[in-house]
Amino acid sequence: MSDQAVTTYLDETLLPYFFCPGCGHGMITDHLNAALVKLQLDPHKVVIVTDIGCSGLADKYFTTNAFHGLHGRSVTYATGIKLANPELKVIVLMGDGGCGIGGHHLINAARRNIGVTVIVFNNFNYGMTGGEHSVTTPLGGFTTSTPFGQLEYPMDICQTVAVNGASFVARTTSFDKGLSDLLGEAIRNDGFSLVDIWELCTAYYVPNNRYSKSMLEHTLTSLNFSTGVIHQATRAEYSRAYRQSVADEAGKAAVAFRPILPKYRSDLDRRVGIIIAGAAGKKINSAATLFCRGAILSGLWATQRNDYPVTVKSGHSVSEIILAPKEIGFSGITKPEVMLLLFKEGSLTVHSQLAAMNEEDTLIINNDILPDQTTAKLIPIDFNQTGRWASKKEYWTIIALSKLLSEIQIYPLEAFKEAVGERSEFAEDNLAAIEAGEKLR
């Protein structure tokens, strides 16, 4: 930026404005320009983000950066820009229509106190599509889509963002002589600012309602909507608060490769499919992962495919594990070599796989579950006889997997012990559970 003062932020070759005669949009645009001139911001560091609607025509006149986006979404682009580059001054120009379709984004931008300034060109209807009603159309107001009068109560945009965490909120009209000062104050605010500017739509709302400046002022008073600076708060601006909150993470190793180095030996020479049929919340998946780690510690390859309903603590939880001496392709199991049937929730979902098993296969089964007709070799476990583990169902999978490794040569039990000992606050209990499984008769 040169040292010379900027005298205008408008591209005067494009003037006069394209707005309808008498429309308030031109007045607001002039005041915004005046505010920018007062603030003397570097145009390279200003981004004017506009929404859809007549207000969305305003960005083209500015010599700053501009982003003209989809209807109602302007606040989201502005948030992305500010989050990515906190140095920028990001100003959103949107209509009352945008506040309706994008109300959710307004609320959340206020909650974050993200440093963008929203200027609402509020003329009570959709000027660009033909004068339909908006969220701010006054009660009884006639629009092309409320020919019998508006029945919906007008949204208080200011209070909506004020109660949800905005740090600067003001309301005024386009006739306000001090509007540029007010806009300057809003832009200077570090956090989320919103200025709701009431104005006349001379194409639709004025002729359809014989509306005027004095009626606009009357609407304000009849609704008891106050004007001027309505709300101010001191809160951390989001893009900076985010950076502060993650500052300690900087430089830590990201997405590190965490190798599992083989220390044990497995003589497994074929692919083995193991299904653990359990219940959600019983650590089926995490036990299966530890079991897979033990396999890799023994030089094997492993895959683990999990199946569960959307609920976390209820319903079935099934892990399908494949172990093999070489890389595994298809990770599904149509006929398992081993099944651990531990909880009845899981047993309901593995019927076809259980039916496919034959006398060469092994079924480790919780004594309390009656198996379907099966020819598989049965290894029952009576968890009631496991002492302190009888009530600790979240360790039953570890116990059963330990039993499996004790019964069938897959990989050394020591490798499983090492895998469970490597991580988590449950290591001690997991190790004890493996030992309990080892001792089972």
> Which residues of the shown chain bind another protein in the complex (CB under 8 A)?
43-45, 47, 49, 59-60, 63-70, 73, 75-85, 87-88, 104-105, 107-108, 242, 246, 249-255, 257-262, 289, 292-293, 296, 300-310, 327-332, 334
Token couple for 174: 């386009």
CB 79 within 8 A of CB 118: no
Q: How far is the CB of 403 from another protein (least distance, A)?
A: 23
Interatomic CA distance for residues 406 and 403, integer angstroms: 5
Q: How far is the CB of 288 from another protein (least distance, A)?
A: 8
Interatomic CA distance for residues 296 and 332, integer angstroms: 19
Interatomic CA distance for residues 251 and 198, integer angstroms: 49
| Cβ-based nearer residue to another protein, 80 or 380 | 80
Q: How far is the CB of 317 from another protein (least distance, A)?
A: 11
Interatomic CA distance for residues 116 and 141, integer angstroms: 31
Give me the helix-helix angle, 427-439 and 396-407, nearest 10°. 50
Q: How far is the CB of 45 from another protein (least distance, A)?
A: 6
| Cβ-based nearer residue to another protein, 99 or 292 | 292
Q: How far is the CB of 347 from another protein (least distance, A)?
A: 18
CB 46 within 8 A of CB 32: no
CA-wise closest residue to 404 among 354, 440, 431: 440
| Cβ-based nearer residue to another protein, 292 or 404 | 292
Q: How far is the CB of 180 from another protein (least distance, A)?
A: 22
Interatomic CA distance for residues 93 and 111, integer angstroms: 19
3 state DSSP class of 66: strand
CA distances to 25, 58, 199, 200 from 21, rounded to whole Å, are: 10, 15, 13, 11
| Cβ-based nearer residue to another protein, 82 or 282 | 82
| Cβ-based nearer residue to another protein, 154 or 294 | 294
Token couple for 132: 């339909």
Q: How far is the CB of 306 from another protein (least distance, A)?
A: 7
Token couple for 325: 């001496």
Q: How far is the CB of 353 from another protein (least distance, A)?
A: 11
| Cβ-based nearer residue to another protein, 314 or 384 | 314
Interatomic CA distance for residues 58 and 205, integer angstroms: 20
Interatomic CA distance for residues 263 and 260, integer angstroms: 9
Q: Could you list the beta-strand ranges (E) of 51-146.
A: 65-68, 89-95, 116-122, 125-126, 132-133
Q: How far is the CB of 81 from another protein (least distance, A)?
A: 4
